[in-house]
Amino acid sequence: MEVSQDFSRQAKDLRVGTWAAIASYGMWGLFPIYWKQVVHIDAVQILCHRIFWSAIFLLIVMWMRGMSKQLIPIFKQKQSFMAVAICGVLITANWGTYIWAVNSGKVTESSLGYYITPLLSVGLGSLFFKEKMDRWTKTAVIIATLGVATAAAMMGKLPWIAVSLATTFSIYGAVKKKARLDALPGLAAETIAVAPFALTWLLCVHYSGNGGYFLADAKSTIFLAIAGPVTAIPLLAFAYAAVRIPLQRIGFIQYFSPTIQLMLGLLVFGERMNLPMALAFATVVCAVVIYSSSISKSRSAISR
């Protein structure tokens, strides 16, 4: 009876976690539209608003749900504090790079980064969580790596936006999985850890007369203020999914986000790809197809 209940609970966690991951990546795919609304404001300032208002929003949510006290042990225990501090730094780097990329007309390159991330997550899953990689998955990772390396050689430089986004977010996901903190307290602790630095920067910029909050137009003020819930909601969904489903499944679902971003970059924002970037996309997409096919075959074998 207990075995049956455990299996049922695991199946439910897998199902709900999968839908949470789909929701989070779908929302992230549409983010370029949001950040383009404040394109006239400095990227660092936007980043600091995003961090600060996310922390405020999450604290309010925790207070409303009577969960505020759960933050205390996270900060008192060395291991959990280190985890949220590392996650805070990683997500800050990821957010900052992405905001700058979108508002600098590089949505397409940022989407390449999020195509690479799932394959990097697979590698981290194998390295740190002993998740198995079959030969096709290994082939996919090698193809993607060679494609990006070749593109970098052709351009004479590394596509740093794509590589930075992929590296910071995949490591962020792995650290969250390792820490195994509850979604809401963990995310709140991450943003609280970096919020004082963000607030200090915003106050300095505001008193210098260059702030985007109140000193800019009403639309900008509103968009900056709602950066909290806009940021926190998909992150909550991701945090919920990260501890309930394998990193490999998270990596597979992640393709929703860069696909939406790529379409926005090419069809809505009028960006174009040069030959090296087109080569990188071609090889990464090829790797994605191979990886996706290997997952499908594995599932079919299990179902039989």
53 pLDDT higher than 90:
yes
- What is the tally of helices (H) and strands (E) in the chain? 14, 0
d(CA 205, CA 214): 12
165 pLDDT higher than 80:
yes
Q: In whole numbers, what is the pLDDT of the chain averaged over residues? A: 83
The average pLDDT across 183-197 equals: 91
Instruction: Give the percent of the chain with pLDDT over 90.
Output: 28
The average pLDDT across 113-135 equals: 77
For 245, residues 6+ apart whose C-beta sits below 8 A from its C-beta are 13, 14, 17, 18, 21
> Considering the domain boundaries, does residue 237 fall inside one?
yes
More confidently predicted of 251 and 168: 168
> Considering the domain boundaries, does residue 2 fall inside one?
no
More confidently predicted of 208 and 214: 208
- What total of structural domains would you count in the chain? 1
272 pLDDT higher than 80:
yes
Instruction: Give the percent of the chain with pLDDT over 70.
Output: 90
> Considering the domain boundaries, does residue 7 fall inside one?
no
> Considering the domain boundaries, does residue 66 fall inside one?
yes
191 pLDDT higher than 60:
yes
Give the model's confidence band at 145: pLDDT under 50 very low, under 70 low, under 90 confident, else very high: confident
Dihedral sign from CA coordinates of 71, 73, 75, 78:
negative
pLDDT reported for residue 302: 41
> Considering the domain boundaries, does residue 9 fall inside one?
no
> Considering the domain boundaries, does residue 78 fall inside one?
yes
The average pLDDT across 235-241 equals: 82
> Considering the domain boundaries, does residue 10 fall inside one?
no
Domain, as residue range, for 205: 15-303
The average pLDDT across 3-31 equals: 79
C-alpha 165 chain-centroid distance: 8
pLDDT reported for residue 298: 53
> Considering the domain boundaries, does residue 239 fall inside one?
yes
